Structure 1
Amino acid sequence: MTKQIYLDYASTTPVDKAVAKEMCEYLSIDGQFGNPASNTHDFGMIAKLAVDEAREKVAQLIHADSREIVFTSGATESDNLAIKGAAFSYQNKGKHIITSNIEHKAVIDTCQYLESQGFDVTYLEADDKGQITPEQVRKAIRQDTILISIMAVNNELGTAYPLAEIGALARERKILFHVDAAQGVGKVNIDVAMMNIDLLSLSAHKIYGPKGIGALYVRRKPKIKLVPLIHGGGHEGGYRSGTLATHQIVGLGEACQLMFDKQTIFLKHVTALREIFLEKLSSLSHIIINTPLENSYPGIVNITFKGIDGEALIAFLHKMAVSMGSACNSASVEPSFVLTAIGLSQEDAHSSIRFSFGQYTTKKEVIFAAETVLESVNKLRGLSPRWQECSDV
């Protein structure tokens, strides 16, 4: 391989060329650059039509009504708006929130902030594959529970969650159900109506759209009330004020349309890549596949290589882009909180690598990557006193 192989699609994806082309039509003087809120001339009205069309495409991907889509700067803002907005809006009914201990930091940090504001949060403990069961949720529900927040797909493990079952529990108890679907939209089946989801966060840059744009689904029936985070102008139904970034919204809409059209083909592609990758690594001893092979998104594989320092392994894998965990924790020298939460020791967590595949990943790249990993691990183990201790056990 003459160029670096990108295997970090869970961190971000390249913008699809069709998406980029469509976005460029809404930027310059030669295109439709108007403000969607300007309704007195064609420039604004054409931009508004483009925004409305994009809203339809986002809604289509999750089986929602376009009037239920609120554009934001990304999933982090959407998570904050959903959780804080719901908590402050419904606090007269109770102050208890249920989530898991391996959610994205955008959810966990938001819940911790709410704890400082007098809310009580239950953090359900995931099992060794990162799974949360509906029974755990049921047992955690209290009279004062107002919100349940469980992600669609774990960003480090690829574990997919039983959203329909949890949604049914929430609806039965008249509790709001929020889903962080940044890693799940377009990759696992999500139907907000069938799954009784009240609030859902998504981001364009995980599905071959631009960075800096996302959306929050807010159910209309029964109507959900949220306290907004941003005031000034009353845009997006009052939920999110600010001039709409037409080009980014168009990019999100186009990305959602492409994922809607190609979801079955896409899933077959990444499933085949995972099978090839794991088969090539099957001869390697003392590894732990932290990702469940069932009930997961096949584009993410997290593996512990015992006796190996993860940073040293990444240095050996200089021809490929991989990660030791979530991009949101990249500044931390601490081991992944997700991996330690599912039972890995700090040493094993430091020995773990996340590989994530996407629509541009090829079979040839995956075979080369697996062979390089195999060779690198064996070399490092030959040099490592830690491996001698490990292999003697």
Structure 2
Amino acid sequence: MFENYTYLDNASITRLDERVFEEMKPYFFDIYAIPTSESGYSMGVEAREVLEKSRETIAEKLNAQSSELIFTSGYTESSNIALKGVALALEKKKGNHIIVSKIEDYSVLNTAKALEKQGFKVTYLEVDQYGLVDSDVLNEQITSETILVSIQHANQEIGTLQDIKALGEVCKDNGVLFHTDVTHTFTRTPLDLEKTSVDLATISAHTIHGPAGIGALYISKGTPITKWMDGGFQESNRRAGLENIPGAVGFARASQLVTPEENQKMEKMRNHLIERILSEVPKSILNGHDVKRVPQNANITFEYVEGESITLHLDMRGFAVSTGSACFSRSLDPSHVILGIGGDHERAHGSVRFTLGRFTTPEQIDAACDAVTTVVENLRKISPLGNQ
């Protein structure tokens, strides 16, 4: 059914790489025991060994210690553990103030709102027109009660890259913990946690052609965090629940398969897409920073047309993209990211996100540009605002 379909929504989820699947298969059918200690039975011991080897592989990509990484069910759980775990650990010891940016992904934003309902004070930092957080503004908002700052490395919608090194230094200088969601930058953009003042970092496999349902949380040594989910004593007693061995193996293999050459190829195609659309489609606007952005993301607003209409018409032509239109999402609100960078409802409703992956080709990008040009032109002809 989707043989000739062009998928350009890789920020939502990526297609599993066949090499990843082959690496995972034995841990579904041959070595399926739960991880045990060295004194346990042999299948469980082997499961433990491959789990720890996978942890080491992923930690190396972050230049972190394997003991600082715990596996989770994905980026949502990782960010929940980070924010709620720190909140529980420091509320009575230091304070109850948390800072997040206004354009965080919902895994952080809604976790912060949940903590706010429990009595925590939350500051939602403004960003500039590109989605960047000003380190001086962050510094001004930190108080003696601040316990945690959470600012993503790259935005999920517009792809803007934050200077997390500078933001982390502000937090370090103020004695505040710093969490960052690197879901959209892990292996895509250089990241060395040893050289940044990051205390907690969220990562996930689903954006790098790994399996869905597996993620991890980096917790730097000595970071105060209270176990948030009750149950067993897995993951060094920091996260309860049965370990996902096939998922961990797939995550590790996926992290190994991403190369600088692949990222450069995607960036070249992404730039070509942006250049063609902005030059060929009048009244189109690039959302986010034109340089400081992840290599796989392009988010463009088309004036006088709904992003939902563009998405549905592109789908009929065999192209999958996403939109910030409220009608297309499960929420009744338009993109909080576009609104957060100063856009109005019309700009949010007309935004379309194109995100590339490993299997995207230059031919697909050109075909997508052709389709976008035609679709937008046709929709504007029937729009009451299209001829302005």
TM-score by length of 1: 0.94
1:38 CA displacement: 5.5
Q: Does 1:66 align with 2:82?
A: no
1:326 CA displacement: 9.9
Aligned to 1:288: 285
Given residue 293 of structure 1, which amino acid in structure 2 is its aligned partner?
D
Aligned to 1:11: 12
Unaligned runs of 5+ in 1: none
Q: Does 1:278 align with 2:307?
A: no
**Equivalents in 1 of 2:385, 2:183: separation in Å?**
37
* Aligned partner of residue 338 in structure 1, secondary structure: helix
Unaligned runs of 5+ in 2: none
Number of aligned residues: 381
**Equivalents in 1 of 2:379, 2:306: separation in Å?**
9
Q: How does 1:1-393 map to 2 (within 5 A)?
A: 3-28=4-29, 31-37=30-36, 39=38, 40-91=40-91, 92-220=93-221, 223-259=222-258, 262=259, 264-281=260-277, 282-318=279-315, 319-325=318-324, 330-388=329-387, 391=388
**Equivalents in 1 of 2:141, 2:37: separation in Å?**
48
* Aligned partner of residue 385 in structure 2, secondary structure: helix
Contact 2:7 2:320 in 1 (8 A): yes
1:334 CA displacement: 2.3
Identical aligned residues as a percent: 36
* Aligned partner of residue 139 in structure 1, secondary structure: helix
The range that moved more, 288-297 or 147-156, is 288-297
Tell me the alpha carbon deviations over residues 276-296 of structure 1, each in whole angstroms, 9 at most, x when there is no partner.
112222122111101211111
**Equivalents in 2 of 1:208, 1:325: separation in Å?**
24
Shift in alpha-carbon separation, 1:154–1:312, aligned structure 2, 3 A: same
1:343 CA displacement: 1.4
4+ residue segments displaced more than 6 Å? none
**Equivalents in 1 of 2:240, 2:295: separation in Å?**
37
1:333 CA displacement: 3.7
**Equivalents in 2 of 1:228, 1:35: separation in Å?**
21
Contact 1:156 1:326 in 2 (8 A): no
Contact 1:280 1:371 in 2 (8 A): no
Given residue 278 of structure 1, which amino acid in structure 2 is its aligned partner?
I
**Equivalents in 2 of 1:343, 1:167: separation in Å?**
25
1:130 CA displacement: 1.0
Contact 2:325 2:350 in 1 (8 A): no
**Equivalents in 1 of 2:362, 2:325: separation in Å?**
25
Contact 1:179 1:200 in 2 (8 A): yes
RMSD: 1.6
Given residue 275 of structure 2, which amino acid in structure 1 is its aligned partner?
E
1:131 CA displacement: 1.0
**Equivalents in 2 of 1:257, 1:65: separation in Å?**
17
